[in-house]
Structure 1
Amino acid sequence: MRWLDHREPVSGPLRGAVIALGNFDGFHQGHQAVAGEAIKWAKSEGRPSIIATFDPHPVRHFKPDAPPFRLTTLEQRQELYLAAGATAMLVFHFDAELASTSAEDFITDILIERFGAYGVVTGGDFSFGKMAKGNVELLQTFGAEHGLKSRVVEAVENEGVISSSRVREALREGDPQLAAELLTRPFAIRGIVEHGDKNGRKLGYPTANIAIGTYLRPKYGVYAVTGKVLSTGETLKGAANIGIRPQFEPPKELLEPYFFDFSGDLYGQEIEVAFHHFLRGEAKFDSLDDLMAQMEKDCAEARRLLSALPDD
């Protein structure tokens, strides 16, 4: 799948595309509806389809100290867009120059001249351009005057409008099942397995330590998870702690999955850990024996909850 940079002109075969415009971080049901309309429209006219995203997120540009909130990495988004049927992913590198581009110039100079866009599809609340003054009405009027076609997809609802904010709220509240329903897949953190202090190994539960990076922090605690080793495609079941590990000093924020019935070496491997069920919050126990007893209970419960999933 092509990975396009908004600062560069779009090449010949991809000019005349239908572009799904938005941030599409989590690529939840609402995002999928917008992208799906763009892909269907493009296919009906024999045109390529492009799904856009912003990286860094505009919030990160205007509020650089904002806590981490990303639901996906660019690599994960690329895979999701490809699976949806898009021809290419377009990355808007949000910086001062893009932030200062007027909405009208965004349409004429970027969408029409630089990309050669035939049409764009957005959600009803999409905004763009300097001071976010651009909206769907401007696309439908000013854009149309310059030959750019546009379509608007209404919000998708599931007991309320589906949004990235709702997904983040569900994860922060320890409800990965609701997040998965809105996303149509479990929330997943991807990273490289690092060497740690081996506390889990000493307790008989060797973990694969992963830095959380720019991902949103779900509620700290223990979860039933699955892991996918990207190099092999192997899927593993397990229990994971995400948080600061209050039992050990000094506090260190980590994602630490323990995979059942696995004895291989994951150091240096890139794995993706998907969150299925919240088991309990983080806690400090009176002794390591008490911690080990609780870990045994956690693993038993995780096995039970994950038993409905197919084995790799």
Structure 2
Amino acid sequence: MEIYRSIAEAHGNLPNSAVAIGNFDGVHLGHRRLLDTAKALARAAGSKAALLTFEPHPASVLSPHFAPARIASVPRKLQLLEEAGLDAVVLQPFDKAYAGSTAEDFVGRDLVQGLQAADVVVGHDFTFGKGRSGNVAMLAALAGEAARVHTVPAVTVDGLVVSSSKIREFVLEGRVSQAWRLLGRPFLLDGTVVPGRGRGRTIGIPTANVAPDTELQPASGVYAVVAAVEGLPGVIGGAANVGVKPTFGTEERTVEVHLFDVSADIYGRRVAVGFLERLRGEHRFAGPAELVAQIHKDIEAARSIVERQGALRFGPVPAP
């Protein structure tokens, strides 16, 4: 997959392409529908299927105090887009100057002249230009005969519209199984294994302490998970604790994962944790003995969920 760091860099490399447009945070099932449409159009025309997206997320520039936590880091997003079968991704830098582009500039300068797109694929609620002044009807009018505009309707799962905001809501509430249904894959938390306090080994249940680079994190609690670890084959079942470990009176929020039947030293390795199901909230126990007993129950419950799920495929991503 070709990666261009601006529209200017992509100029001349994507003639007559089919270009999907959007932030595509999480690359969820709704995003996949747009990508599939762009791919079908490109294959029919013998051209390339591309995505025009923006970095950083526009909300972090326009409303930094209200910007949502991102579902996926840029490296993970690119990996997911490549797996989706795109030919190219254009990461257009987004700053306040670019945010001032008019709707006419965006279509004429960026899409028609810059990318030389023949087909443009957007969602039904797509807006663009300064102050979000442009909509789908304006996009088609401005593109004229230079590019055909294709609108993809909302994708629903069990009557619920698939959206990045709904996925964030589910993850923040700990409803990771519902987030999975909208993403089309488990919610993935990427990070690096770093030294922790070593409490897991002292109680006979070693854990990997993960320093996340994924902004979005699930609600505190215990989860059934699977993990891909740099240097180890496939995905490995496990149980994860997200929170502050109230039994030990700590305040630091951590992500710790117990991987089933793994004895290798994985300090410093990249890891991706896929969250399958929340087992329980975080509780304060009377002491370590009561906590250990509950952890063993959690591990057995997690094993059952992982075994019932069957094979999943994903991998850790390079360091950001």
State the TM-score, normalizing by the size of structure 1. Answer: 0.94
Contact 1:61/1:94 (CA < 8 Å) preserved in 2?
yes
Larger mean CA deviation between 262-271 and 51-60 belongs to 51-60
Query: Superposed, which structure 2 residues align to 1:152-171 within 5 Å?
Result: 152-158=151-157, 159-171=159-171
Task: Tell me which residue corresponds to 2:57.
Answer: 57
Task: Tell me which residue corresponds to 1:291.
Answer: 291
- 1:31 is displaced (CA, Å) by 0.9
Q: Structure 1 residues 67, 124: CA separation in 2 closer, same or farther (over 3 Å shift)?
A: closer
1:129-148 deviation line (CA, Å, top 9, x unaligned) = 11111211111101115x12
Task: Tell me which residue corresponds to 1:37.
Answer: 37
State the number of aligned residues. 311
Which amino acid counterpart does residue 90 of structure 1 have in structure 2?
V
Contact 2:190/2:214 (CA < 8 Å) preserved in 1?
no
Which amino acid counterpart does residue 156 of structure 1 have in structure 2?
V
Query: Superposed, which structure 2 residues align to 1:47-86 within 5 Å?
Result: 47-66=47-66, 69-86=69-86
Cα distance in 2 for partners of 1:7, 1:311 equals 39
Larger mean CA deviation between 19-28 and 59-68 belongs to 59-68
Please state which structure has a larger fraction of its residues in strand. Answer: 2
Task: Tell me which residue corresponds to 1:128.
Answer: 128
Larger mean CA deviation between 36-45 and 62-71 belongs to 62-71
Q: Matched residues, percent identical?
A: 37
Task: Tell me which residue corresponds to 1:114.
Answer: 114
Cα distance in 1 for partners of 2:67, 2:298 equals 29
Cα distance in 1 for partners of 2:160, 2:311 equals 34
Cα distance in 2 for partners of 1:231, 1:91 equals 29
The DSSP-based 3-state class of the residue aligned with 1:188 is: strand
- 1:55 is displaced (CA, Å) by 2.4
- 1:67 is displaced (CA, Å) by 6.6
- 1:195 is displaced (CA, Å) by 1.2
Q: Is the counterpart of residue 184 in structure 1 residue 190 in structure 2?
A: no
Cα distance in 1 for partners of 2:201, 2:65 equals 35
Task: Tell me which residue corresponds to 1:151.
Answer: 150
Q: Structure 1 residues 218, 170: CA separation in 2 closer, same or farther (over 3 Å shift)?
A: same
- 1:68 is displaced (CA, Å) by 5.2
Q: Which runs of 5 or more residues in structure 2 are unaligned?
A: 313-320
Cα distance in 2 for partners of 1:191, 1:58 equals 24
- 1:53 is displaced (CA, Å) by 2.6
Q: Is the counterpart of residue 277 in structure 1 residue 261 in structure 2?
A: no
Which amino acid counterpart does residue 202 of structure 1 have in structure 2?
T
Q: Which runs of 5 or more residues in structure 1 are unaligned?
A: none
Query: Superposed, which structure 2 residues align to 1:236-275 within 5 Å?
Result: 236-275=236-275
Task: Tell me which residue corresponds to 2:317.
Answer: none
Which amino acid counterpart does residue 154 of structure 1 have in structure 2?
P
Contact 1:68/1:217 (CA < 8 Å) preserved in 2?
no
Cα distance in 1 for partners of 2:291, 2:55 equals 40
Task: Tell me which residue corresponds to 1:229.
Answer: 229
State the TM-score, normalizing by the size of structure 2. Answer: 0.91
